[in-house]
């Protein structure tokens, strides 16, 4: 049996023993391999800061809001490909990250700005909203 199948089998046994809720809670505490993010709640808005160093073309980044989740998809291209990496902690390549906002938001007057390697997304807080919305990023 290959290592991937072993891991999947172990995961199934652990899920049976610990339950699905355990894994959902654990995944939220584990660091992701994509961009790092902070979520802040203000009186009437939610501010999301996402580290995206090295993005040269912001049109490669897509944002969507669905209920209480911000979906960030895109690509970060490596810049120093002619060097051999001795230490490489920053991520490169395609990514997709779902960020729980902790509250529902509305799409009206949402904004996004990319500056100095950080994507800043501002969303207005609201009641339950069930549709999705794409947000345009400006620099």
State the average pLDDT over residues 11-31.
66
Give strand ranges (E) for the chain.
37-41, 45-51, 62-66, 69-76, 93-100, 105-115, 118-125, 132-135, 137-138
Q: Are residues 49 and 92 in the same domain?
A: yes
Domain of 57?
33-138
Q: Are residues 128 and 61 in the same domain?
A: yes
Quick check: 48 pLDDT over 80? Answer: yes
User: Token pair 């990250």 is at which residue?
Assistant: 97
Given this model, what pLDDT does residue 29 score?
A: 53
Average pLDDT score, the chain: 81
Q: Are residues 57 and 110 in the same domain?
A: yes
Given this model, what pLDDT does residue 92 score?
A: 80
Quick check: 128 pLDDT over 50? Answer: no
pLDDT class of 134 with cuts at 50, 70, 90: low
Sheet holding 37-41, edge to edge: 37-41, 45-51, 118-125, 105-115, 137-138
Q: Are residues 24 and 38 in the same domain?
A: no
Within 10 Å of residue 98's Cβ, how many Cβ atoms?
13
Instruction: Using a cut of 0.75, tell me whether the model's pTM lies above it.
Output: no
Q: Is the pLDDT higher at 2 or at 131? A: 2
Q: Are residues 58 and 107 in the same domain?
A: yes
Given this model, what pLDDT does residue 133 score?
A: 61
Could you tell me what percent of the chain has a pLDDT over 70?
A: 81
Q: Are residues 46 and 2 in the same domain?
A: no
Judged by DSSP in three states, 139 sits in: coil
Sheet holding 69-76, edge to edge: 93-100, 69-76, 62-66, 132-135
The predicted-structure confidence for 49-108, as pLDDT tens digits, reads as follows: 999 988 888 988 999 998 889 999 998 888 788 888 888 777 788 889 999 999 989 887
């Amino acid at each position: 049996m290959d290592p991937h199948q072993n891991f999947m089998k172990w995961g199934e046994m652990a899920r049976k023993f610990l339950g699905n809720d355990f894994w959902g809670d654990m995944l939220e505490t584990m660091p992701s391999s994509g961009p790092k993010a902070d979520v802040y709640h203000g009186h009437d808005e939610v501010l999301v800061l996402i580290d995206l160093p090295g993005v040269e073309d912001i049109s490669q980044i897509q944002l969507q809001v669905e209920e209480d989740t911000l979906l960030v998809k895109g690509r970060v291209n490596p810049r120093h490909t002619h060097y051999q990496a001795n230490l490489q902690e920053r991520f490169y390549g395609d990514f997709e990250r779902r960020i729980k906002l902790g509250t529902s938001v509305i799409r009206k007057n949402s904004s996004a700005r990319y500056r100095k390697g950080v994507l800043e997304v501002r969303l207005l807080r609201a009641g339950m909203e069930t549709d999705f919305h794409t947000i345009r990023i400006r620099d």
